Amino acid sequence: MSSGKETPRQKMIGMMYLVLTALLALNVSKDILDAFIVVNKGLENSNENYTYHNENLYSEFDLAKVIDPVRVTPNWNLAQEVKKKSTDLNDFIDKLQKKIISQTEGVSQSIADTMQMENIDKKDSYDTPTNILIGDSEDGSAGASRELKTKLIAYQAQLSNYVLPEDRKNVKIDLNAKDPKHSENNENWEMYNFFNRPVVASLTILSKIKSDVKNAESVIVDYLLKQTESETMKFDTIAAKVIPQSNYVLLGEEYKSDIFIAAFSKTKKPEVMVGNYNETTKTFDGTPNSIEVQNGLGKYTAPTTHEGIVEYSGTIKLRSPKGKEMLFPFRSEYIVAKPSLTVSADNMNVLYRGLDNPISVSVPGIPQEKLTVSATNVVLVNKGSGKYIVKPNVDGKAEINVFATMENGEKRNMGTMTFRIKRVPVPVAKIGKITSTGIMSKGELSSQTGVGAFYDKFDFAATCKVVSFEVNYITNGLNASEPGEGNLFTVKHKNIFNNLRKNTKVYFENIKAVGPDGIIVDLPSISIKIN
């Protein structure tokens, strides 16, 4: 792995930078200005080398993550944070340099982006860089140098957080944004570096800061990468393994599995604990179970006591070659379902209008909590555990649609069942126990309360009610009739019954009733002979 240390050439460029910065206080001759161009060119080359070197580090990190994602991903994520912070800071410095060139030379930003330092006409100009970097303040607080200093200090503090406390003495982040201790005019960092500096000097100083930023980036990324290698486990056996996402695949779904090489040690068994592991507190809730390990594999078995998704978690503990305990948490789940049997008869998918029709919905291999059920032309009520009440209110057909939420979060259509919506059967009218024809005495007929109705040979516990009827009879040789509202006999009806002659008939006709579907229907007539 490459290191983040400076090369001899980079050290020489740094020394030249320090010498030229000191000479600024003595003389600003053309030779010194030209020397800054040489130093800046060397710094730019160094920055390109740092960029190349850092990209190689990131490439090594990417490869390590592919090989061992569990171990490497946490530090890889930190390295990506370092990369973004470094890029943001260098972009800020780039913009400062281009702004100084643009305003000094009086050219557009696009021209300044491509202009080399040796092509700048006003190499010795002080005003523009001082105005941009120091501003109209006496301490640089009104200029961009104060913002740059603040960003450098924050950047250094952020990078330090990526280093373990015990390693901070040995991991050096060379970003000096502190006020100089030995300044003749007691200047702060901003004034010391950027007050009354010619354009070439200001640009070179900014290039040096960019070089320091890239070097700091290199140091930290190299450190993070080495951290992933320091506790590499040693295994003596490898084997091919296949882990399917599910052994139960629905028609139309894809079978998916992970095929990989598993490495394990025959002499050093891991300790596998299964329970309810809390990754926040790094402890188990309750007492975990120790699992038997064979050839590096923990053999986990558990009784099934209820349907649905069962989640479990735990840890695998290994010791590194240096004796350090390494803990790897895991989490998984499985589905428990009852053995299912579906038997259906053709042409019997019927729902009755106005009734609470019970149905059951299940998809083998899919827990109930993963199913979403909807319907058309009906009111659908979920009663839980796959039980539903369907209440149609219109004629026609109803469609029951079932969707399942798959393991990847996708909503998948499990199918549609179509039901015919039928009206409830026409009920049967009755008076007492007579439903069509029968014999009663006058007294027995008069003791009846009214005309009733019921559903004969209907599996649903449905009720209906007579809403009107008509009593037809013969009196004095003439046909007569008396209507009835509702289902009850009136006093007038009972007087008619009491005055009927023996062996005459009374007819109950135009009987109308309403059922749970709200539809009024005509019922068959009843005739009763008086004995």
Cα–Cα distance for residue pair 303/261, rounded to 1 Å:
30
Q: CB neighbours of 234 closer than 8 A, spacing ≥ 6?
A: 265, 321
For residue 73, what is the enclosing H or E element? helix 69-105
* SS3 of 350-400: EEECCCCEEEECCECCECHHHEEEEECCEEEEEEECCEEEEEECCCEEEEE
- Looking at the chain, the domain(s) classified CATH 2.60.40.10 span 350-422
Cα 175 → chain centroid: 40
- Region 136-140: what's the mean pLDDT? 91
Of 15, 223, 207, give the one whose Cα is nearest residue 116. Answer: 207
Q: Is the pLDDT of residue 530 over 60?
A: yes
Q: What's the pLDDT tens digit per position in 321-354?
A: 656 788 889 888 777 766 554 544 444 689 999 8
Q: What is the pLDDT of residue 106?
A: 92
The lowest-confidence range among 93-97, 122-126, 144-148, 156-160 is: 122-126
What does each C-alpha distance from 73 to 197, 228, 231, 262, 474 come to in angstroms?
45, 9, 15, 19, 100
Given the structure tokens 């104060």, which residue do they identify? 146
The lowest-confidence range among 61-70, 195-204, 340-349, 494-503 is: 340-349
pLDDT band at 303 (very low <50, low <70, confident <90, very high): confident
DSSP letter string, 512-530: EEE-TT--EEEEPPEEEEE
Superfamily of domain 350-422: Immunoglobulins (2.60.40.10)
What does each C-alpha distance from 498 to 350, 441, 530 come to in angstroms?
47, 9, 10
Q: What is the pLDDT of residue 372?
A: 92
Q: The domain at 428-530 falls in which architecture? A: Sandwich (2.60)
Given the structure tokens 């979920």, which residue do they identify? 382
- Region 119-139: what's the mean pLDDT? 91
* 282 against 249, higher pLDDT: 282
Q: What is the pLDDT of residue 345?
A: 44
pTM above 0.85, yes or no: no
* SS3 of 237-266: EEEEEEEECCCCCCCCCCCCEEEEEEEECC
Q: Is the pLDDT of residue 389 over 60?
A: yes
Q: Are 89 and 152 in contact (CB under 8 A)?
A: yes
The lowest-confidence range among 136-145, 241-250, 428-437, 495-504 is: 241-250
What does each C-alpha distance from 65 to 60, 77, 462 come to in angstroms?
9, 10, 67
Q: What is the pLDDT of residue 155?
A: 96
Assign 13 to helix, strand or coil. helix
State the average pLDDT for the chain: 85
The residue count of the chain comes to 531
* 239 against 272, higher pLDDT: 272
DSSP letter string, 449-477: -B-EEE-SS-SS----EEEEEEEEEEETT
Q: Is the pLDDT of residue 374 over 50?
A: yes
Q: What's the pLDDT tens digit per position in 453-474?
A: 999 988 888 999 999 999 999 9
State the chain's maximal CA–CA distance in angstroms.
Answer: 147
Residue 490 burial (C-beta neighbours within 10 Å; 0-12, 13-18, 19+): middle
Beta-strand runs (E) in 406-464: 411-422, 428-430, 437-440, 452-454
* 201 against 295, higher pLDDT: 201
pLDDT band at 57 (very low <50, low <70, confident <90, very high): very high
